[in-house]
Amino acid sequence: MDIGKARERLIEIILDKTFKYSDNPPFTLVSGRKSNYYFNCKPTTLDPEGMNLIGELVFAMLADSDVTAAGGLTLGADPIANALSVISFQRGKPIRSFIVRKEVKDHGMMSGIEGNVRPGDRVAILDDVITTGGSTIAAIVRAKGAGLIIDRVIALIDREEEGGRANIEVHVPRVEAVLTRTEIMSRYRGNEIGSLKTVKA
């Protein structure tokens, strides 16, 4: 797969299904802060084409690593981890997916992590959006508590604000994103200009 074309197509899907912009009223983020834009990633991460592209792109980011499993806090990370797992199997380098529960079960094995992972496994922590980094850090803490070795964090989108990436970097050596707010906003503004030119023409 052409990685550049895959990224461009994923941006198109995100703009169509995930990205919302509003001058008035602004959106309220989980932190309570107001913002003119919002990313609801699930319509993209649960879309067949979107899921396939995400799996390909995240696999490419991990191609030179010795990561054997990937997952993050449910629900945002789940479809990304599953997409990666399927693509990695098809590419002959299986990466198992796992789920980090928000609450530890109070029955059965009382596990905070679901999936075929064991202490000592080298893993990547996934998330759909980095804002403050709170959900990613929660997953990191639980994964470390289960004895997993965290190689890196990969997010689908980095909002590039509220110190999210820096907050996460306190806990792990490497933080990456498939796409950034800057890239997506650049395409969004380019599309707006293109639409205006079309109307004027």
Q: Which tens digits make up the pLDDT trace of 9-67? A: 999 999 999 999 888 878 988 788 899 999 999 999 999 999 999 999 999 999 999 99
Q: What is the pLDDT of residue 13?
A: 98
Q: Could you tell me if 111 and 84 are in contact, meaning their C-beta atoms sit under 8 angstroms apart? A: no
Name the band, by pLDDT with cuts 50, 70 and 90, for residue 199.
very low
pTM for the complete prediction? Answer: 0.91
Spatial CA neighbour of 123 closest among 149, 155, 157, 86: 149
Q: What is the pLDDT of residue 179?
A: 98
Whether 197 shows a pLDDT value over 70: the answer reads no
Q: What is the pLDDT of residue 166?
A: 97
Q: Which tens digits make up the pLDDT trace of 84-107? A: 999 999 999 999 999 999 887 555
Whether 156 shows a pLDDT value over 90: the answer reads yes
CA distance 175 to 30: 21
Q: Could you tell me if 84 and 69 are in contact, meaning their C-beta atoms sit under 8 angstroms apart? A: no
Q: What is the pLDDT of residue 105?
A: 59
Domains present along the chain, CATH in parentheses: 3-193 (3.40.50.2020)
CA distance 18 to 38: 8
Whether 198 shows a pLDDT value over 50: the answer reads no
Q: Which tens digits make up the pLDDT trace of 178-194? A: 999 999 999 999 886 54
Spatial CA neighbour of 127 closest among 65, 183, 172, 64: 172
Whether 110 shows a pLDDT value over 60: the answer reads no
- Tell me how far apart the 2 most distant CA atoms of the chain are, in Å: 66
Whether 108 shows a pLDDT value over 80: the answer reads no
Pairing verdict, β 175-180 and 149-158:
parallel
Q: Rounded mean pLDDT of the chain?
A: 91
